[in-house]
């Protein structure tokens, strides 16, 4: 089996808890051949941990490393497009964490760079690779006309899970100018997407792009694009959002928020007349916690409930196995940049509805 040489840009908590250990576990497919982060101390520690000699604090230099097959863009959202485009111009395949970009302009620039390079870009929507989710896509075909759907993501802050389950290295050697640059870029990118808006709407858009890109992307694969957002409301400074979305013949509710409980409740529920499906996710910060498909159905006089756990293999592993096929066999990824642009449309629809309720 051919090994892909990959370089990782951004070595934060997601890279440390998921990507790096999984790449190490998939050593028959991948070789970690380069690492990049703006924290020199973090770079040194993880370089030693994973026995990587090619270490960079400049992402552009990593993308120029000649022997790399692919680049994983895992750094802060504001630098996704820039780093991905550098990789594409150097003919590297790209796996990019969500949100791919914060606005349509950067998404279009990435698509143009991909097409000119003749390589692939895959967006890291790991929830859409969970085997239980993929079974739900097929099970939905037996549901009949949809009556209603509910999309929910109410979670505790990530640190509440991480501090009890993982060791994540963080160092205070990031230059202040880099921190300032990040927030300046973010403000400009969000302004490009939604204009000048109140701070709480700005924060709500950030929540939609971050946590909720998972929910709304998975919703799209199951249900398609909504026709419109009927109404939406945010509160607690943009930290909680609820919305009603219209589809053909039914409506869906969407609710999200982040609090201080040590739990993770993310699910999508779809109701037919006599059958319903629930995809229940758990925190990605503890690997191998199962995603389940719960089916409830009335058959004659009987009411039946069944819970299916197809595997304990975590969705990130399935995703990276799939990306290997994308690069080595030319499989077209389902989570393309074009697919992601639909999520930006939904984020804008919800934001416009929030503004209308201000």
Over residues 188-205, the pLDDT tens digits come to: 999 999 999 999 999 999
pLDDT at residue 357, rounded to an integer: 85
Over residues 202-223, the pLDDT tens digits come to: 999 999 999 999 999 999 999 9
pLDDT at residue 1, rounded to an integer: 79
If asked whether residues 101 and 162 sit together in one domain, one would say no
CATH number at residue 39: 3.40.50.720
Residue 118 CB burial class (10 angstroms; 0-12, 13-18, ≥19): exposed
User: How high does pLDDT run on average in the chain?
Assistant: 97
If asked whether residues 8 and 109 sit together in one domain, one would say yes
If asked whether residues 57 and 139 sit together in one domain, one would say no
Asked whether the predicted pLDDT for residue 323 surpasses 90, the reply is: yes
pLDDT at residue 292, rounded to an integer: 98
Over residues 99-152, the pLDDT tens digits come to: 999 999 999 999 999 999 999 999 999 999 999 999 999 999 999 999 999 999
Over residues 255-300, the pLDDT tens digits come to: 999 999 999 999 999 999 999 999 999 999 998 899 999 999 999 9
Question: Are residues 269 and 278 in contact, defined by beta-carbon separation less than 8 angstroms?
Answer: yes
Domain count, the chain: 2
If asked whether residues 159 and 256 sit together in one domain, one would say yes
- The secondary structure of the chain in percent helix, strand, coil, rounded to multiples of 5, reads 45, 25, 30
Residue 252 CB burial class (10 angstroms; 0-12, 13-18, ≥19): buried
CATH number at residue 207: 3.30.360.10
Residues contacting residue 97 through CB under 8 Å, at least 6 positions apart: 10, 14, 72, 73, 74, 80, 123, 124
Asked whether the predicted pLDDT for residue 185 surpasses 90, the reply is: yes
If asked whether residues 197 and 289 sit together in one domain, one would say yes
If asked whether residues 18 and 143 sit together in one domain, one would say no
Note down the domain range covering 39.
Answer: 4-124+318-333
pLDDT at residue 204, rounded to an integer: 98
Note if the bond before 99 is cis, omega within 30 degrees. Answer: yes
- Give this prediction's pTM: 0.96
State mean pLDDT over 68-91: 98
Q: State the sign of the Cα–Cα–Cα–Cα dihedral 160, 161, 167, 172.
A: negative
């Amino acid at each position: 089996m051919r090994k892909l040489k990959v370089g990782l840009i951004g070595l934060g908590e997601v890279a440390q808890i998921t990507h790096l250990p999984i790449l190490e576990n998939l050593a028959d497919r991948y070789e970690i051949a380069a690492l990049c982060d703006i924290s020199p101390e973090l770079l040194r520690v993880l370089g030693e941990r994973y026995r990587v000699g090619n270490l960079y604090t400049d992402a552009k230099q990593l993308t120029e490393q000649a022997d790399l097959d692919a680049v994983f863009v895992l750094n802060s959202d504001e630098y996704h497009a820039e780093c991905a485009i550098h990789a594409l111009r150097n003919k590297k395949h790209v796996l990019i964490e969500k949100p791919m970009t914060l606005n349509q302009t950067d998404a279009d620039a990435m698509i143009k760079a991909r097409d000119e390079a003749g390589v692939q870009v895959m967006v890291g929507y790991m929830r859409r690779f969970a085997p239980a989710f993929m079974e739900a896509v097929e099970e939905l075909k037996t549901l009949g006309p949809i009556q209603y759907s509910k999309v929910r993501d109410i979670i505790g802050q990530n640190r509440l899970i991480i501090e009890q389950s993982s060791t994540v290295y963080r160092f205070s050697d990031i230059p202040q100018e880099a921190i300032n640059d990040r927030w300046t870029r973010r403000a400009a990118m969000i302004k490009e997407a939604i204009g000048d808006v109140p701070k709480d709407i700005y924060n709500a858009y950030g929540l939609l792009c971050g946590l909720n890109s998972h929910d709304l992307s998975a919703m799209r694969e199951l249900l398609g694009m909504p026709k419109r957002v009927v109404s939406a409301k945010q509160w607690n400074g943009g930290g909680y959002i609820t919305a009603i979305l219209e589809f053909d013949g039914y409506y869906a509710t969407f609710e999200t928020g982040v609090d201080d409980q040590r739990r993770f409740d993310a699910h999508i529920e779809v109701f037919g007349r006599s059958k319903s499906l629930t995809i229940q996710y758990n925190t990605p910060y503890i690997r191998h916690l199962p995603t389940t498909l719960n089916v409830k159905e009335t058959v004659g006089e009987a009411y039946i409930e069944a819970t299916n756990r197809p595997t304990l293999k975590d969705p990130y592993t399935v995703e990276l196995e799939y990306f290997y096929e994308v690069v080595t066999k030319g499989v077209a990824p389902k989570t393309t940049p074009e697919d992601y642009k639909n999520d930006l449309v939904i984020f804008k629809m919800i934001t416009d509805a929030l503004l209308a309720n201000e």
